[in-house]
Amino acid sequence: MRSTETLLAREHYHHERQERIITEALADRWPAPERQQALRLVAMAGVGTKIRSSLERHGSLADHLDEAFAAVQSELTR
């Protein structure tokens, strides 16, 4: 049980770190302060999509990203 908790904590840390790295890279490209929250959401969605695509093991990451961002856009423009 303890090793499972440790593994989950390590996984969570790894995903959070990926999100921070992606957010920083996006902020370097688009540094406007008013965009930072949106860029973080993009990073979060990207990491979540990567996790989902690795669990499903079919289709490319690009396909999963296209699908995820289309779903987000659809919900936001309803």
pLDDT, one tens digit per residue, over 15-69 is 999 999 999 999 999 999 999 999 998 899 888 888 777 777 677 778 878 888 8
pLDDT at residue 10 tops 70: yes
> From CA 33, how far away is CA 48, in angstroms rounded?
24
Q: Quote the pLDDT of residue 6.
A: 87
CA dihedral for 42, 21, 10, 56, sign (positive or negative) = positive
Domain count, the chain: 1
Cα angle at 28 between 26 and 33, to 5 degrees?
A: 85
pLDDT band of 75, cuts 50, 70, 90: confident
- Is residue 46 within 8 A of residue 65, CB to CB? The reply is yes
- Is residue 41 within 8 A of residue 30, CB to CB? The reply is no
For residue 40, the enclosing domain spans 2-76
Query: For the whole model, what pTM was predicted?
Result: 0.70
